Structure 1
Amino acid sequence: MAYQALYRVWRPQTFADVVGQDVITQTLRNAVASKMTSHAYLFSGPRGTGKTSCAKILAKAVNCLNPHDGEPCNECEICKAANENRLNDVIEIDAASNNGVEEIRDIRDKVKYAPTEAKFKVYIIDEVHMLSQGAFNALLKTLEEPPENVMFILATTEPQKIPATIISRTQSFTFKRISKDDLLARMELILKDKNIKYDEEGLNIIAASAEGGMRDALSILDQALSFGKDELTLNNAQEVTGALSNEQIVSYMTAIANNKPADALTSLYKILASGRSAIRFTEMIIRVCRNMILYNSNTDLSKQMDSSIMTQDMLDISQKFDNDKLFYIVDQVSNTQRNLKNSNQTDVYMEILTVKISEPQVSSVQSGQPEIAATVATDDGKVVELTDEVAQLKKEISNISKNGVANVSNGPAPVKTEKKVNKKTHLNKTAIYKVLGQATREDLNNAKDIWPDVMSMLSVTQRAMMRVSEPVAACADGIVMAFDYPMWFEQAQEDQDLLDSLTNDVSRLLKHDCQIVMVPKDEWPTIRKEYINNNNVDLDNKDDVKSEPKAKKTDEAVDEAVKLFGEDAVDVKDD
Structure 2
Amino acid sequence: MAYQALYRVWRPQTFFDVVGQEHVTKTLQNALLQQKISHAYLFSGPRGTGKTSAAKILAKAINCERAPVSEPCNQCPSCIGITNGTIPDVLEFDAASNSRVEEMRDVLDKVKFAPTAVNYKVYIIDEVHMLSISAFNALLKTLEEPPKHVIFILATTEPHKIPLTIISRCQRFDFRRITAGSIVERMKLITEESGVDCDDRALQMIARAADGGMRDALSLLDQAISYSQDRVTLEDALTVTGAVSQGFLNKMARAINEKDVVSGLEALDELLFHGKDPARFIEDLILFYRDMLLYKAAPNLEESLERVMLDEEFRQMAEEIPIEEIYQLIDLLNKTQQDMRWTNHPRIFLEVSIVKLCQLESKHSAVPQSGVMEQLLSRIDQLENELQQLKSSGISQTVQDPAPQPQKAAPRSSRNTFQPPVGKINEVLKQATKTELNLVKAHWGEMRGSILKSHAALLNEAEPVAASAAAVIIKFKHEMICQMAMSRNDFLEAVAATLFKLTSKQFSLLGVPEEQWLSIREEFLNSGHHDESGSTGESVREEEPHIAEAKKLFGAEFVEIID
Q: Which TM-score band (shorter chain)? A: 0.5 to 0.7
Deviation at 1:273, TM superposition (A): 1.6
Provide the secondary structure at the position in 2 that maps to 1:319: helix
Query: What is the correspondence of 1:107-118 to structure 2 with a 5 Å cutoff?
Result: 107-118=107-118
Query: What is the correspondence of 1:153-192 to structure 2 with a 5 Å cutoff?
Result: 153-192=153-192
Corresponding residue for residue 23 of structure 2? 23
Deviation at 1:316, TM superposition (A): 2.2
Deviation at 1:369, TM superposition (A): 6.4
Q: Answer whether contact 1:291 1:310 (CA < 8 A) is retained.
A: no
Q: Answer whether contact 1:78 1:118 (CA < 8 A) is retained.
A: yes
Provide the secondary structure at the position in 2 that maps to 1:347: helix
Query: What is the correspondence of 1:408-447 to structure 2 with a 5 Å cutoff?
Result: none
Aligned CA-pair RMSD: 2.5
Q: Distance in 1 between matches of 2:142 and 2:306?
A: 50
Question: Structure 2: which amino acid aligns with 1:86?
Answer: T
Q: Distance in 1 between matches of 2:169 and 2:302?
A: 46
Provide the secondary structure at the position in 2 that maps to 1:154: strand
State the Cα deviation string for residues 3-35 of structure 1 (Å, max 9, x = none).
100000000001111100001001111111211
Question: Structure 2: which amino acid aligns with 1:141?
Answer: K
Q: Distance in 1 between matches of 2:81 and 2:151?
A: 18
Query: What is the correspondence of 1:69-468 to structure 2 with a 5 Å cutoff?
Result: 69-229=69-229, 231-297=231-297, 299-301=299-301, 304-305=304-305, 309-362=309-362, 365-368=366-369, 372=452, 381=497, 384-388=500-504
Deviation at 1:383, TM superposition (A): 5.2
* Distance change in 2, residues 1:195/1:56 (3 Å): same
Q: Distance in 1 between matches of 2:62 and 2:107?
A: 20
Q: Answer whether contact 1:289 1:326 (CA < 8 A) is retained.
A: yes
Q: Distance in 1 between matches of 2:241 and 2:312?
A: 24
Q: Answer whether contact 2:287 2:307 (CA < 8 A) is retained.
A: no
Question: Structure 2: which amino acid aligns with 1:54?
Answer: A
Deviation at 1:388, TM superposition (A): 2.1
Question: Structure 2: which amino acid aligns with 1:69?
Answer: V
Q: Distance in 2 between matches of 1:383 and 1:145?
A: 72
Question: Structure 2: which amino acid aligns with 1:91?
Answer: L
Largest Rg, 1 or 2: 2
* Distance change in 2, residues 1:381/1:5 (3 Å): farther
Corresponding residue for residue 58 of structure 2? 58
Corresponding residue for residue 386 of structure 2? none
Q: Distance in 2 between matches of 1:12 and 1:84?
A: 14
Q: Answer whether contact 1:30 1:69 (CA < 8 A) is retained.
A: no
* Distance change in 2, residues 1:233/1:152 (3 Å): same
Q: Answer whether contact 1:204 1:308 (CA < 8 A) is retained.
A: no
Corresponding residue for residue 424 of structure 2? none
Q: Answer whether contact 1:288 1:309 (CA < 8 A) is retained.
A: no
Question: Structure 2: which amino acid aligns with 1:359?
Answer: Q
Corresponding residue for residue 40 of structure 2? 40
Provide the secondary structure at the position in 1 that maps to 2:86: coil
Q: Distance in 2 between matches of 1:234 and 1:93?
A: 40
* Distance change in 2, residues 1:380/1:202 (3 Å): farther
Question: Structure 2: which amino acid aligns with 1:113?
Answer: F
Provide the secondary structure at the position in 2 that maps to 1:110: coil
State the Cα deviation string for residues 498-539 of structure 1 (Å, max 9, x = none).
xxxxxxxxxxxxxxxxxxxxxxxxxxxxxxxxxxxxxxxxxx
Q: Distance in 1 between matches of 2:52 and 2:499?
A: 62
Q: Answer whether contact 1:126 1:156 (CA < 8 A) is retained.
A: yes
* Distance change in 2, residues 1:380/1:257 (3 Å): farther
Deviation at 1:308, TM superposition (A): 5.4
Q: Distance in 2 between matches of 1:298 and 1:75?
A: 50
Gaps of 5+ in 1: 390-575
Q: Distance in 1 between matches of 2:299 and 2:183?
A: 27
Q: Distance in 2 between matches of 1:379 and 1:102?
A: 74
State the Cα deviation string for residues 49-94 of structure 1 (Å, max 9, x = none).
0000000001111111014632111001011111111110011111
Corresponding residue for residue 528 of structure 2? none
Q: Distance in 2 between matches of 1:179 and 1:163?
A: 30
Deviation at 1:277, TM superposition (A): 1.5
Provide the secondary structure at the position in 2 that maps to 1:173: strand
* Distance change in 2, residues 1:128/1:374 (3 Å): same
Q: Answer whether contact 1:255 1:264 (CA < 8 A) is retained.
A: yes
* Distance change in 2, residues 1:226/1:298 (3 Å): closer
Q: Distance in 2 between matches of 1:243 and 1:107?
A: 45
Q: Distance in 1 between matches of 2:53 and 2:501?
A: 68
Deviation at 1:117, TM superposition (A): 0.6
Query: What is the correspondence of 1:433-512 to structure 2 with a 5 Å cutoff?
Result: none
Q: Answer whether contact 2:198 2:233 (CA < 8 A) is retained.
A: yes
Q: Distance in 2 between matches of 1:13 and 1:273?
A: 44
* Distance change in 2, residues 1:381/1:46 (3 Å): farther
Q: Distance in 1 between matches of 2:34 and 2:298?
A: 51
Deviation at 1:98, TM superposition (A): 0.4
Corresponding residue for residue 528 of structure 1? none
* Distance change in 2, residues 1:261/1:84 (3 Å): same
Deviation at 1:319, TM superposition (A): 2.5
Provide the secondary structure at the position in 2 that maps to 1:124: strand
* Distance change in 2, residues 1:113/1:68 (3 Å): closer
Question: Structure 1: which amino acid aligns with 2:235?
Answer: N
Q: Distance in 1 between matches of 2:51 and 2:151?
A: 16
Q: Distance in 1 between matches of 2:99 and 2:262?
A: 55
Corresponding residue for residue 421 of structure 1? none
State the Cα deviation string for residues 359-384 of structure 1 (Å, max 9, x = none).
14138934436894589777974553
* Distance change in 2, residues 1:57/1:39 (3 Å): same
State the Cα deviation string for residues 188-233 of structure 1 (Å, max 9, x = none).
0000111111111111110000000000000000000000045311
Provide the secondary structure at the position in 1 that maps to 2:172: strand
Question: Structure 1: which amino acid aligns with 2:297?
Answer: S
Percent identical among aligned pairs is 46
Deviation at 1:328, TM superposition (A): 1.4
Provide the secondary structure at the position in 1 that maps to 2:320: coil
Q: Answer whether contact 2:291 2:307 (CA < 8 A) is retained.
A: no
State the Cα deviation string for residues 276-315 of structure 1 (Å, max 9, x = none).
1122212221222133223333653367556953321222
Q: Distance in 2 between matches of 1:196 and 1:311?
A: 27
Q: Answer whether contact 2:336 2:349 (CA < 8 A) is retained.
A: yes
State the Cα deviation string for residues 125-166 of structure 1 (Å, max 9, x = none).
000000111111111110121100001000000000101011
Provide the secondary structure at the position in 1 that maps to 2:109: helix
* Distance change in 2, residues 1:365/1:303 (3 Å): farther
Question: Structure 1: which amino acid aligns with 2:504?
Answer: D
Provide the secondary structure at the position in 1 that maps to 2:504: helix
1:14 lines up with 2:14 in the alignment:
yes
* Distance change in 2, residues 1:245/1:359 (3 Å): same
Provide the secondary structure at the position in 2 that maps to 1:147: coil
* Distance change in 2, residues 1:381/1:97 (3 Å): farther
